[in-house]
Structure 1
C-alpha cells in the first residue's frame, strides 16, 4: 500500500506502511475531535448505503481502515452484524469500544492488499482510507472475488483537488484519482455502481499553523517523503497561505467522494 505523488515532476521518498501506521497510531486519540469532514463522510456513506441495503442482519462484514472507529460505530448502530472483520495497519483499533457488539469480531491487522481476507462477504465498507492505496485495481479485484454475489461495497475516499491549498503551496501530496478514474477502476473490477456523490468541503482555521496542527491530529502530514520543514520554509508557507485567507479565515479544501456499488448477481443460463 504505497502513497503516491500528485505529479511526476515532484520526486520524493514515499512513506512506508510502517510510517503511515505510526502517523495514524499517534493521531488515534485526537482523530475523532478533529476529523470534521471525515465524520461527515461517514454520515453520508451510511445514508447512501441504507438506500440500497436496508437495516437488518448481515452475516459477514469487513471494514477496511478502521482508525478510531467512526464508521464502525455508525455501522453497528444500523445493522446487526454476525461476523465483523476489522482491518487497519496498527493494533490501536483493538482498543475501540464496540457499542453494539457484533456476534463475533475478528481483527485483521496489516496491509489489506497483502493479507488474506474472508470469503463470502456480504458487505465491505471503508471511509477516508483508500486514497492511501495506489493503484486500487488489485485490491478491488481481490475484494470483488471475496464478496458474496449481491454483496455491497460502500466506500468514501478523496479525489483530485483534495487539500489543494497544501499542494499549491508545497507541491506535495497524494496522486488522487479523478472521480471518473476511480469509477473506471471499480467497473473494471466487476462492480456495478449504484451511487456516486462528490462534494467540496471547506474548513476554515485561525492560522496556517492551525491547518498543519489539524492535519497532524488526523494522521495526515501536510507533506510526505523527503520534504522537510525548516524555519525558512515554514515562514514562507505561512506567509503565502495567509494570502489565501478571507473573512471566514484560512481555508482548507477537502474533496470527498461517496460510492455505493455491488457485486452483480450471476445470470442464469
Structure 2
C-alpha cells in the first residue's frame, strides 16, 4: 500500500465533500444523471455477470445503485476519499477509504468504474495506468469525468476552485495506456440555471464540487460576484452553470 498521507488538495476535497455529504445525494442531480448514463452505456458492453468489481469515488451511491441493479456482481469493492461514505455501501460490498492514488487495489478485476471523480486526480495518466494494471485481460474501465468547459463561468470570474484534471473526450485517447481499446467515448454539455448567485453557491456547497476552493465570502464579495455574474452571463432564464461530462469505456487487451 502506498503512503495514505493526503495532499493539500485531497484534504480540501475531503473536507468539502464531507461537509456536503448529507445533502449530496439529493442536490447532485447532474452527477446522478451522469452516473446513470455511464451504467446505461456499460450494459451492452459488459457481460451480465462480473466476478470482481472495484468502484472508486462512490460517494452516496449514484453509480453503485444502478450498477448493482444491472449486473450480477460476485465480489464488489467500493472506495471513497470520505470514510463516512461507508454508510452508503451495499451490505455485501467491501469498503476501502482513502485517495484512489494510494489505496491498495484488488487484483484481476473484471471492471473498474467511477462517476464524476477522475477530475480530482492530479496525476491522471499515472493513476489510470495503475488502475489498468489491476484489470484482468478483457477487463473494462468505465469512467465519467468532465471536459474543459466545466464551470467555465466560474473560472471566467476568477475562481480558483477548478479540479486539476478536466479532460475533453478526445484527450482520453492519449491518457489511456496502449493496451486499452476504447469501446465508448462521448461528451455532452449540460447547463443548470439559478435565480441568484447565492442559490448557485449553495448548490456548489451542497454537492461539494467546489472542493479545491479556499475563498471565504463576505457580504461585499457576494454582492460583487452577483453583479459580475449577471453582467457576464445573466439571461432572462437566470444564471447558467455549465457541466461538461465525458464518458469513457475501454477494454484491456486479451
Aligned-partner SS, 1:214: helix
Contact 1:15 1:224 in 2 (8 A): no
Query: Equivalent of 1:186, from 169, 176, 179?
Result: 176
Structure 1 unaligned regions, length at least 5 = 1-13
The CA deviation at 1:97 is 5.6
Q: 2-side partners of 1:223 and 1:236: how far apart?
A: 21
Q: What is the CA–CA distance in structure 2 between the aligned matches of 1:229 and 1:34, rounded to whole Å?
A: 21
| Residue 149 of structure 1 pairs with residue 137 of structure 2 | yes
Q: CA RMSD in A?
A: 1.7
Deviations 1:118-168 (A, max 9, x none): 100000110001100022111111111111100111000111010111111
Contact conserved, 1:59 with 1:122, CA < 8 A, in 2? yes
CA-CA distance at 1:234 after TM superposition: 2.1
Please state whether the residue corresponding to 1:30 is helix, strand or coil.
helix
Distance apart, 1:211 and its partner CA = 0.6
What residue number does 1:29 align with? 22
Alignment of 1:1-269 (within 5 A): 15-54=8-47, 56-96=48-88, 98=90, 102=92, 105-172=93-160, 173-175=162-164, 176-188=166-178, 190-221=179-210, 224-225=213-214, 227-243=215-231, 244-265=233-254
Q: Structure 2: any 5+ residue segments left out of the alignment?
A: 1-6
TM-score (structure 1 length as normaliser): 0.86
Equivalents in 2 of 1:230, 1:212: separation in Å?
Answer: 13
1: CA distance between counterparts of 2:163 and 2:221? 20
CA displacement at 1:15 relative to structure 2: 4.2
